[in-house]
Structure 1
Amino acid sequence: MTRLGFLSFGNWMPGHGSAVRSGADALLQGVELAVAAEEAGVDGAFYRVHHFAKNHSSPWPLLAAAAARTSRIELGTGVIDMRYENPLAMAENAAATDLISGGRLQLGISRGSPETSVAGYEHFGHVPGTGLGAIEGESDADMARRHTARFRSAIAGELIAPGNPQMVGSDRPLPITPQAPGLAERIWWGAGTRATAVWTAEQGMNLMSSTLLTEDTGVPFDELQAEQIALFHEAWRAAGWAHAPRVSVSRSILPIIDDETAHWFGLHAQAEQRDQVGMLDGSRSRFGRSYIGTPEQIAAELARDSAVQAADTLLVTVPNQLGVDINARMLGALVRDVMPVVDAARAPSLA
């Protein structure tokens, strides 16, 4: 059965129709939406992380607060930009948050995406080519992967810092604390290309693929993404990992279920339902379409989406600025009226 989660960017800004006008609104409503989503039968609450922007930034207080208010729903990120992260501090925060959640944390991480600041990670103290384990001439992407390797080793229990004999009786190396059992297998990498999906599998991380691919072969978005997923699974099998991987895809899905949703989304029902191709960071990129319409229309379209059918988790980007109530109603409609059709279409391929 396909897991359904929401993905919130946590945008806030005063303006017409906005119920999220401050950072406090974004955080508090982010928690409330996780609670409401769990009650509606949604499987995951995921939050996007951006820096120097009016979005969610540090995810740990939000995830921990949502964990304390819920009992079943998975809690995660989509994604944390590893160029900004101190790997060991992140390992401590992640482990503590996972323990609060009872092992429900699903962390999406990546090299990062275009951002509002120029090399903002340098102002966090992270400069490519400097720091522990850095190599001369490394790129910001190299630095992100270096931070990732250090973080993953730490949550897996690597012995890191020598003990102080006066305090602990020996100089035997110590791990970070606390440790969260199983967290090491719940790390996802946000991959924008087929090659990165293969690398993700080789590293033993789960695959998180969004509504943007930073390559284009001329085929529809869902087919290109399905090819990415197939290559990921092939590389996973070749690597010989003992545990089964997970794959998520993101979609912009806006069900029209009442007069309020028709007011906000009805005019976009035709204009936004096609793939877009453009240049991003110097690469020709393909952007996935939006799914806007009645639940029945959306269900039929998602049942034909080859990447949705190939993934085990579907993350729905929500218009969080409209507030908790409308988003909870839309998510409830997806659980009730859309996902059974998606699963029914998937079943023959899994037989």
Structure 2
Amino acid sequence: MPSTPRPLRRLGFLTIGLFDGADPGRGHESTLEIIELGERLGFDSAWVRHRHLQYGISSPVAVLAAASQRTSRIELGTAVIPLGWENPLRLAEDLATVDLLSGGRLNPGVSVGPPMHYEQVREALYPDTADVEDFSYERVRRLLDFVRGKPATDFSGVEGFEVFSDIVQPHSPGLGQRLWYGGGSLGSARWAGEHGMNFLTSSVVRAVEPEGPHDFAEIQRSHIREFRAHHPDGEAARVSQGLVVIPTDSATPEQRAKYEAYAAKRLPRTTTPQGPARLLFAPDIVGTSAEIVEQLHAHAGFREVDEVAFALPFTFEHEDYVQILTDMATHLGPALGWRPGAAA
């Protein structure tokens, strides 16, 4: 039987941070302004996507470092950093630094696998080691160990006038409990649970069965339950859902038409698994807050969670994001049982 919908405890949002290649500074500033707005509206968290060799945020840790100095309360997350592009030790240093600068508000989300278009970027990314790089969960385990304070070297002590540590510095003690894995399969959900991570589940899952029917919500629910079944905290283990949700309560007629056209254009990809990886996409949810609540309460995946990071659409204007976030905080969130500060 479906579980009873839980009152929403944490309300967050996710942005890709698009920018114009001719004026990238303005796009990054827009992202920071959106995060500042999220804090003023009472959101519990703001998350940024990660894009390489595209016109979106390529350095989320740097962007969140800036955001940490322009906000004081809202949690700041990455959804997600693809570790195939990263050195886990160096990333651990950056994450700990930003976590300390933010006062312990960083929520790093990561994933594994070869970088997108690896054959085209391998020579630029790993010119000497492209054939031997390990893109498995081992890369996440290394990051976890470094962030959680396990030794990175067998050397420490004083050498001349310099003092060396055997663990990553700076060390931020609470950060190891705020690491998230962005997964879309039963295997990734299980691995994240076994390693005590939090779990980010988005609008994409991997379809297992070659034949239908393919029910996105049921697949997502199975991932959440698999994660909690293998996590030390069981039912209390944290899961955040990231569907594309667009409330229209205060939208103009022109905005509503744009939002509906955006969702309609993306709808065909939700009917069958896409590509060799058999990815299944969730339909975007567009409507008034009352209409969205009805759909979410019927969604098997949503019924398992009490925190969300609703994804903002990719290609809208700054003013559209202001309207969407304002409606989320003032209409949709309260209708789902959320209130500002409830997660504190």
TM (normalized to structure 2)? Answer: 0.84
Q: Counterparts of 1:110-259 in structure 2 under 5 Å?
A: 110-112=111-113, 115=116, 118=119, 120=121, 123-125=124-126, 127=129, 130=132, 141-142=135-136, 145-161=137-153, 162-163=155-156, 165-167=158-160, 174-217=166-209, 218-236=213-231, 240=232, 244-256=236-248, 257-259=250-252
SS at match of 2:17: coil
> 1:195 deviation in Å?
1.9
Q: Using a 3 Å threshold, how does the CA distance of structure 1 residues 216 and 11 change in structure 2: closer, same or farther?
A: farther
Match of 1:136 in 2: none
Q: CA contact under 8 A between 2:251 and 2:323: conserved in structure 1?
A: no
Mapped to 1, the partners of 2:99 and 2:241 lie a distance apart of: 23
Relative contact order (alpha carbons < 8 A, sep ≥ 6): 1 or 2 greater? 2
Give the distance between the partners of 2:218 and 2:311, measured in 1 at CA: 20
Q: Alignment partner of 1:204: what SS?
A: coil
Q: Provide the aligned C-alpha RMSD in A.
A: 2.7
Q: Deviations 1:52-78 (Å, cap 9, x if unpaired)?
A: 111111112200111111111110110
Q: Relative to structure 1, is the Cα distance of residues 246 and 125 closer, same or farther in structure 2, using a 3 angstrom cutoff?
A: same
Q: Measure, in 2, the Cα distance between the counterparts of 1:271 and 1:51.
A: 25
- Measured in 2, the distance between the counterparts of 1:321 and 1:254 equals 13
Alpha-carbon distance between aligned partners in 1 of 2:227 and 2:251, rounded to the nearest angstrom = 39
Q: Secondary structure, in 3 states, of the residue corresponding to 2:30?
A: helix
Distance 2:77 2:321 in 1: 18
2:43: which partner in 1?
42
Q: Which residue, 4, 16, 22 being the options, matches 2:11?
A: 4
Q: Distance in 2 between matches of 1:36 and 1:210?
A: 23
Q: Kindly indicate whether the alpha-carbon contact (under 8 Å) linking 2:82 and 2:115 is maintained by their aligned counterparts in 1.
A: no
CA distance in 1, matches of 2:328, 2:321: 11
Residue 297 in structure 1 maps to residue 291 in structure 2: yes
Residues matched between the structures, number? 323
Cα–Cα, structure 1 residues 149 and 119, in superposed 2: closer, same or farther, change >3 Å?
farther
Cα gap change, 1:128 to 1:118, in 2 (>3 Å):
closer
The answer on 1:319 being equivalent to 2:322 is no
- Report the Cα offset of residue 324 of structure 1: 3.3
Give, as a single letter, the amino acid of the residue that structure 1 aligns with 2:183: A
Partners of 1:169 and 1:255 lie apart in 2 by 56
Secondary structure, in 3 states, of the residue corresponding to 1:71? coil
Query: Which residue type is aligned with residue 316 of structure 2?
Result: L
Instruction: Check conservation: 1:215, 1:286, Cα contact below 8 A.
Output: yes
How many angstroms apart in 1 are the aligned matches of 2:9 and 2:105?
17
Percent identity of paired positions between Structure 1 and Structure 2: 28
- Quickly say closer, same or farther: Cα 1:64–1:169, change in 2 above 3 A: closer
Assess, with a 3 A threshold, how the Cα gap between structure 1 residues 300 and 80 changes in structure 2: closer, same or farther.
same
Is it true that 1:341 corresponds to 2:342 in the alignment? no
- Matched to 2:124, the amino acid is H
Amino acid in structure 2 at the alignment position of 1:4: L
Equivalent-residue separation in structure 1 for 2:162 and 2:114 (angstroms): 46
Cα distance in structure 2, aligned partners of 1:203 and 1:209: 16
Contact 2:19 2:28 in 1 (8 A): no
User: For residues 143-172 of structure 1, what are the alpha-carbon distances to aligned partners after superposition, in whole Å with 9 as ceiling and x for unaligned?
Assistant: xx23222221111112223136433799x8
How far apart are residue 263 of structure 1 and its match? Answer: 3.7
**Greater Cα offset, 308-317 or 155-164:** 155-164
Kept after mapping to 2: 8 A contact 1:42/1:331: no
Cα 1:277/1:243, change in 2 over 3 Å: closer
Asked if the contact 1:255/1:261 (under 8 Å) is kept, the reply is no
Residues 202-260 of structure 1 show CA distances to partners (whole Å, capped at 9, x for unaligned) of 11111111111122443421111011101111111xxx359952111111112223214
Q: Give the Å deviation of 1:46.
A: 0.5
* Structure-2 separation of matches of 1:271 and 1:58: 29
CA contact (8 A) 1:80 1:112 kept: no
> Contact conserved, 2:152 with 2:167, CA < 8 A, in 1?
yes
Change beyond 3 A, Cα 1:114–1:86 = closer
Q: Residue 11 of structure 1 aligns to a residue in which SS?
A: coil
Q: Are the structure 2 counterparts of residues 337 and 312 from structure 1 closer, same or farther at C-alpha, using a change threshold of 3 Å? A: same
CA distance in 1, matches of 2:237, 2:198: 5
Distance 2:174 2:206 in 1: 31
SS of 1:279's equivalent? coil
Q: 1:60 to 1:285 in 2, by over 3 A?
A: closer
Q: Quick one: structure 1 residues 305 and 273, their matched pair in 2 at CA, closer, same or farther if it must change by over 3 Å?
A: farther
Partner in structure 2 of residue 309 of structure 1:
303
